[in-house]
């Protein structure tokens, strides 16, 4: 059951069959219904989300007809399709309906009602109020099929519907039987218009959903080219065309897909990404050129590239930028912009996994406290001249080993710092130590042992960050650090060197 806040109360907007049977009527206050039926499952209605979902569904229904429109009347949602000239693609109308039913059932919409009629108004009336879930009516049988339907299917204003019912005209058949002149005089001209539309005497064209195409640019070459410089020039031309289209639409592209047409029907695809939505021809071209250069070894143009298609994969609306009149702020903004462009170029040339911008996470375990290799997440490089504030009390090394390196230690049980450490085939005597700082893995990773971290200094001045995974005397199977790449431990505690303090 769905409710919405209306007239100072939560009121029911939609109720399922069981709720209706239990006494929940749309329009009633939720508190009244709850008093009668306490075990109600209630959620807030989301009309905007419903409309968006209906539009998405309508776009997917383009597989049956390009002429599609979502329709909403009160709480009834539907999708109108103009199937003129498309039924034969599915055999006939029966095949079309069968395909539609199968697909909708597979998508979890088994309760959808389908009606085929000569006009949209008639199809809507049959789908909403028809006797069966799947109705197909031709123009000869239209009147008998529509006659028993209630007058609500005329989609008239509620006042007119009420007046019709008071006059005893409860079905379409009753209205059709009455004289048209009297109907128009008493209930208004709209009744006659709607009746004509319903019977297919007046055309009721659909205003379909506009087609959404991704911004793209296409270039065909007079002669095939294969040199890297020529391909870069082609990419530059495509980028210029695409940038013009993006700027006209006020969009920016974060991911680009360049498809180079090679003779023989095999295409080469090159993807590039930017950290912010871009619509500048020069930057788009540079990103593509770097990608082409980086993949030049693996790029096989065969007998030549005959043309290309450049597409913005996820165009987003670009936010307007405020120009800062403060020269210092403008300089900082310029530096941020330059830094973003630099990161994009490096990612394009070297690969996203080799260009990393460390980021702090609100986590205690070192592996979780920073992001892994950065991809092309939205770049929000913070103010570039402000020092970062670190939570007080945390001492962390500047350099860490990934993964931590196993070591052997002589230490006091149960939680003393190591006195002697064997690491990288060296025996290190520990002369100073801080700790332990106990870090526990999150409870949902219960198989991992707790870690006791120590800051230690060796006799020759090396400052290490070491930890003991597990406890002395604990069962060995619960103390195995699964993700640290260590051999199975002989006892319950294992030592690792995790970082260096310099």
Partner 1 sequence: MTTRPSGAALDQLRRAISTIEHRDSPCGRARVGGARFSTGHAPLDAALGGGGLPGGALVEVRAEGGRDTVGSVAVALGLGAQVLRARPGLGVWIHGRRAGDDGLPHAPGLAAAGIAPGRMLVVGPLAPDLLLWAAEECLMAGGVGALVLQPDIAPGLVAARRLLLAGERCGAPVLVLGDPRLAPLAPARVRLEVRTLPSRAPPWWADRRPAGWMMPVGAPRWQLQVGRRGAGAPHEMEVEWDHGTHRFRDGSGLAHRTPGLVVGSGQHGRAA
Contacts with partner 1 by CB under 8 A lie at 331-332, 334-339, 341-343, 345-346, 349-350, 354-360, 366, 369-371, 380-382, 384-390, 394-402, 417, 430-434, 455-457, 459-463, 499-502
Question: What is the smallest separation between the CB atom of 246 and partner 1, expressed in angstroms?
Answer: 23
Question: What is the smallest separation between the CB atom of 220 and partner 1, expressed in angstroms?
Answer: 33
Instruction: Extract the tokens encoding 495.
Output: 């030592």
Q: Which is nearer to partner 1, 301 or 404 (CB)?
A: 404
Helices (H), 152-262: 158-166, 172-177, 180-187, 189-198, 228-249
Q: Which is nearer to partner 1, 227 or 381 (CB)?
A: 381
Question: What is the smallest separation between the CB atom of 361 and partner 1, expressed in angstroms?
Answer: 8
Q: Which is nearer to partner 1, 449 or 499 (CB)?
A: 499
**Any idea what the Cα angle at residue 419 is, between residues 417 and 420, rounded to 5°?**
130
Q: Which is nearer to partner 1, 241 or 405 (CB)?
A: 405
Q: Can you tell me the distance from the alpha carbon of 69 to that of 82, in angstroms, rounded to the nearest whole number?
A: 9
Question: What is the smallest separation between the CB atom of 321 and partner 1, expressed in angstroms?
Answer: 17
What is the SS3 assignment for 271-306?
Answer: EEEEEEEECCHHHHHHHHHHHHHHCCCCCCCCCCEE
Preceding omega of 468 cis (within 30 degrees of 0): no
CB atoms within 10 A of CB 76: 12
| 198 touches 121 (CB < 8 A) | yes
Question: What is the smallest separation between the CB atom of 357 and partner 1, expressed in angstroms?
Answer: 6
Q: Which is nearer to partner 1, 174 or 349 (CB)?
A: 349
Question: What is the smallest separation between the CB atom of 498 and partner 1, expressed in angstroms?
Answer: 9
Question: What is the smallest separation between the CB atom of 23 and partner 1, expressed in angstroms?
Answer: 58
Residue 123: closest CA among 50, 48, 190, 65? 65
Q: Which is nearer to partner 1, 223 or 362 (CB)?
A: 362
Three-state secondary-structure class, residue 173: helix
Backbone angles phi, psi at 78, to 5 degrees: -150, 175
Question: What is the smallest separation between the CB atom of 377 and partner 1, expressed in angstroms?
Answer: 12
Q: Which is nearer to partner 1, 179 or 382 (CB)?
A: 382
Q: Which is nearer to partner 1, 133 or 360 (CB)?
A: 360
Within 8 A by CB and 6+ apart from 458, the residues are 421, 428, 429, 430, 431, 464
CB atoms within 10 A of CB 129: 18
CB atoms within 10 A of CB 406: 18
């Amino acid at each position: 059951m769905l409710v919405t806040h209306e007239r100072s109360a939560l009121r029911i907007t939609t109720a399922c069959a069981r709720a209706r049977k239990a006494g929940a009527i749309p329009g009633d206050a939720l508190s009244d219904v709850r008093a009668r039926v306490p075990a109600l499952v209630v959620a807030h209605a989301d009309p905007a989300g419903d409309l968006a979902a209906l539009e998405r569904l309508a776009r997917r229904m383009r597989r049956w007809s390009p002429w599609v429109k979502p329709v909403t009347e009160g709480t009834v949602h539907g999708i109108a399709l103009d199937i003129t000239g498309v039924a034969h693609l599915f055999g006939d109308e029966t095949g079309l309906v069968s395909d539609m039913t199968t697909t909708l059932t597979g998508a979890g919409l088994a309760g959808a009602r389908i009606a085929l009629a000569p006009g949209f108004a008639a199809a809507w009336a049959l789908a909403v109020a028809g006797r069966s879930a799947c109705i197909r009516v031709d123009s000869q049988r239209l009147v008998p099929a529509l006659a028993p339907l209630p007058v609500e299917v005329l989609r008239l204003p509620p006042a007119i519907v009420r007046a019709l019912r008071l006059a005893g005209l409860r079905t379409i058949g009753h209205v059709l039987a009455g004289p048209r002149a009297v109907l128009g005089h008493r209930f208004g001209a709209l009744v006659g218009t709607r009746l004509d539309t319903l019977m297919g005497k007046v055309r009721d064209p659909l205003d379909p959903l506009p087609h959404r195409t991704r911004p793209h640019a296409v270039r065909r070459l007079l002669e095939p080219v294969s040199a890297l410089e020529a391909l870069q020039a082609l990419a530059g031309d495509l980028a210029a065309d695409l940038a013009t289209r993006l700027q006209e639409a006020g969009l920016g592209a974060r991911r680009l897909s360049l498809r180079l047409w090679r003779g023989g029907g095999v295409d080469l695809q090159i993807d590039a990404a930017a950290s912010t939505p871009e619509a500048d021809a020069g930057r788009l071209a540079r990103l593509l050129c770097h990608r082409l250069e980086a993949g030049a070894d693996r790029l096989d143009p065969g007998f030549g590239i005959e043309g290309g298609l450049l597409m913005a994969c996820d165009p987003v609306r670009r936010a307007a930028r405020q120009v800062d009149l403060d020269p210092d702020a403008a300089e900082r903004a310029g530096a941020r912009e330059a830094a973003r462009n630099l990161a994009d170029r490096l990612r394009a040339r070297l690969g996203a996994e080799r260009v990393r911008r460390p980021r702090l996470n609100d986590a205690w375990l070192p592996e979780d406290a920073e992001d892994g290799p950065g991809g092309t997440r939205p770049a929000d490089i913070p103010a570039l001249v402000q020092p970062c504030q670190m939570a007080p009390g945390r001492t962390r090394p500047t350099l860490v080993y990934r993964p931590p390196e196993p070591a052997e230690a002589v230490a006091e049980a149960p939680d003393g710092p190591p006195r002697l450490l064997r690491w990288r085939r060296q025996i290190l005597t520990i002369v100073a130590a801080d700790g332990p700082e106990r870090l526990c893995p999150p409870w949902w990773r219960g198989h991992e042992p707790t870690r006791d971290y120590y800051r230690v200094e060796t006799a020759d001045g090396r400052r290490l960050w070491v930890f003991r995974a597990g406890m002395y005397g604990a069962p060995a199977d619960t103390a195995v650090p699964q993700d640290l790449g260590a051999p199975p431990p002989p006892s319950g505690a294992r030592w690792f060197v995790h970082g260096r303090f310099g």
